[in-house]
């Protein structure tokens, strides 16, 4: 299992600081969930780990700086599922998932039997075998999401980054996708960092939440520690009640100011 350390990481687009001074350590096998309003810097943080955004400070994987790595080596360590992945409509699911094997194939090489067997194995584990020769353009939203996750799993990287993995899915598929990630995490000992908008789901699946606001890390801790009515009101500007269920689940329920009826 692999740890991920951030020390004073900053991301800047032009003159705008998207993320400032972010310091945190994600323990091996931990699921950290980044929350915060739009523009808080969640995506920027994930993109800096994936090597898509230039960053200041240092990001370390198991103690060694990530910036020293070649893009291939980095891709062997970090798999990234973007918020809105590009799925070439006419590519088959199997062709798409094998792209995740790129970090292990030399520049001019081609896939070995080993690569294809990993792909077929991943497709099987994610219940996608029936779709493997279907064009991804013909799949439903939930199936597409599973194909994208399959590609990331085929990458066999110990760190999995998910940017809003469930935003396009209905409630059932949201749960399915997150259960899948959690199951894969247990089986492979993955370290997961995700950005999520649904606070209840974020608290339900992750080990730890980290709230970002305008590029700064505000607070981090368990769902019960972070998801508090005052905190949500201050940083999201939302009127919401926080309900603690008997099983420890923290539920965030929005309400309308005039009709709270308490």
Partner 1 sequence: MLSLSGASYQGVFRNPLVDPYLLGVAAGAGLGATLVFTLNRTGSSTWIIDPLPLSAFVGGLLAVFVTYVVGTAFGGQKSASTLVLAGVAVTALATAVQTFVLQRHTDVVRQVYSWILGRLSSATWGDVRLVLPYVIVSSTVLFLHRRLLDIMRVGDDEATALGASVNRVRIVVVIAATLGTSAVVAVSGLIGFVGIIVPHAVRLLAGASYRVIVPLSLLMGASFLIIADIPGRVLQNPSETPIGVVTAFLGAPFFLLLLRTKQGTR
Whole-number Cα distances in Å, 141 to 18, 125, 240: 30, 19, 29
What angle do the packed helices 141-154 and 171-188 form, to 10 degrees? 10
Question: b/e map of 131-142 (b: 16 or more CB within 10 Å)?
Answer: bbeebbeebeeb
Shortest CB 175 distance to partner 1, Å: 25
Whichever of 110 and 262 has its CB closer to partner 1, that residue is 110
Site for partner 1 in 77-136 (CB under 8 A): 78-80, 82, 85-88, 90-92, 95-96, 99-100, 102-103, 105, 107-111, 135
Please report whether residue 165 would count as binding partner 1 according to CB under 8 A: no
Site for partner 1 in 47-66 (CB under 8 A): 47, 50-52
**Cβ 97 vs Cβ 119: under 8 Å:** yes
Please report whether residue 204 would count as binding partner 1 according to CB under 8 A: no
Piece of 34-42, 71-79, 201-209, 223-231 that binds partner 1 (CB under 8 A): 71-79
What angle do the packed helices 141-154 and 113-125 form, to 10 degrees? 140
Token readout for 144 is 């597409």
Q: Which residues bind partner 1 (CB under 8 A)?
A: 47, 50-52, 70-76, 78-80, 82, 85-88, 90-92, 95-96, 99-100, 102-103, 105, 107-111, 135, 155
């Amino acid at each position: 299992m692999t740890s991920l350390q951030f020390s004073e990481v900053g991301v800047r687009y032009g003159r705008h600081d998207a993320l400032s001074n972010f310091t945190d350590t994600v323990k091996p096998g931990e699921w950290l969930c980044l929350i915060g309003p739009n523009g808080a810097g969640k995506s920027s943080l994930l993109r800096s780990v994936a090597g898509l955004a230039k960053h200041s400070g240092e990001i370390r994987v198991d103690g060694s700086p990530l910036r020293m790595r070649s893009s291939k080596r980095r891709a062997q360590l970090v798999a990234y599922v973007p918020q809105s992945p590009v799925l070439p409509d006419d590519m088959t699911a199997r062709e798409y998932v094998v792209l995740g094997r790129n970090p292990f194939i030399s520049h001019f090489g081609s896939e070995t039997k080993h690569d294809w067997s990993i792909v077929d194995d991943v497709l099987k584990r994610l219940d996608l075998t029936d779709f493997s020769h279907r064009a991804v353009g013909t799949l439903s939203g939930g199936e597409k999401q599973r194909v994208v996750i399959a590609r990331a799993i085929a990458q066999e990287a110990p760190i999995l980054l998910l940017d809003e993995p469930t935003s396009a899915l209905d409630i059932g598929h949201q749960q399915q996708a997150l259960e899948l990630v959690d199951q894969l995490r247990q089986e492979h000992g993955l370290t997961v960092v995700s950005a999520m908008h649904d606070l209840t789901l974020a608290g339900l699946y992750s080990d730890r939440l980290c709230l970002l606001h305008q590029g700064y890390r505000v607070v981090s801790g368990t769902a019960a520690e972070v998801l508090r009515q005052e905190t949500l009101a201050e940083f999201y500007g939302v009127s919401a009640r926080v309900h603690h269920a008997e099983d420890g689940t923290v539920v965030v329920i929005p309400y309308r100011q005039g009709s709270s009826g308490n």
